[in-house]
Structure 1
Amino acid sequence: MADDSTTTMKALFETRAAADLAVEHLVQQHGISRSDIFIQSTTAENTVGVSQSGGDVSANDNARQDAPLAGEIEVSADISANDVAAVQRSLGEAGAIRVSAG
């Protein structure tokens, strides 16, 4: 018999780019609706993560000085208990530094 329960998966990322990639993995590989995926700072501050990426870094390695590097980014979603292992792998492949379920 299949397990119909759900669990909340949470993953922490060092950059907004990695968090965005994780969202794409959740949507495209696991069929989770974007409206069921939540992204937030792990601190009370606005943040793009703890290290610069994407638009915060120019081609000649001159990083912007105004990027808000105020903490990690958390991505969370409620998923089927049957999908925990597969979703955990996908989040890791996207660059999660820590993944938890429960």
Structure 2
Amino acid sequence: MPQTISATFETRRDAEMAVEHLVQEHGLDRAAVTIAPVSADNSAGTETAGADIEDGHAKADTEGEPALAGRLRVSATVDPTLADKVETSFATYGGTP
């Protein structure tokens, strides 16, 4: 019976890296993974990363961009035999249960 494993991440980049690791390294079906804000707020995480930074500083103008107002939750529904790999991948990219 499939098992759902979840972790929260501070940045969208970390969440996406965890998903890519699961898909590319462990062959997980991308459709079995979701990324969503933890709270009701639209969010790209709580810390700047990647596209959120210009010239080493956080962007001043974020018009049209998701607010950095909350953490992101990644959930993966997998066969229990993959549970350890999913948890390890989440932890590698800063996910916390």
The answer as to whether partners of 2:4 and 2:78 remain within 8 angstroms in 1 is: yes
Identity of aligned residues (%): 35
Who is 1:83 aligned against? 82
The answer as to whether partners of 1:48 and 1:68 remain within 8 angstroms in 2 is: yes
Who is 1:55 aligned against? 51
SS in 2 for 1:10: strand
Q: Distance in 1 between matches of 2:80 and 2:29?
A: 16
The alignment of Structure 1 onto Structure 2 pairs a total of residues equal to 93
Which of 35, 41, 46 is matched with 2:37 structurally? Answer: 41
Q: Distance in 2 between matches of 1:35 and 1:81?
A: 17
Q: Does 1:64 align with 2:93?
A: no
Structure 2 gap segments, 5+ residues each: none
Deviation at 1:49, TM superposition (A): 0.3
Larger Rg: 1
Q: Which amino acid aligns with 1:68?
A: A
TM-score, normalization: structure 2?
0.87
The answer as to whether partners of 2:14 and 2:94 remain within 8 angstroms in 1 is: yes
What is the RMSD computed on CA atoms of the aligned residues?
1.3
The answer as to whether partners of 1:41 and 1:74 remain within 8 angstroms in 2 is: yes
SS in 2 for 1:86: helix
The answer as to whether partners of 2:32 and 2:78 remain within 8 angstroms in 1 is: no
TM-score, normalization: structure 1?
0.83
Deviation at 1:76, TM superposition (A): 0.6
Deviation at 1:62, TM superposition (A): 2.2
SS in 2 for 1:28: helix
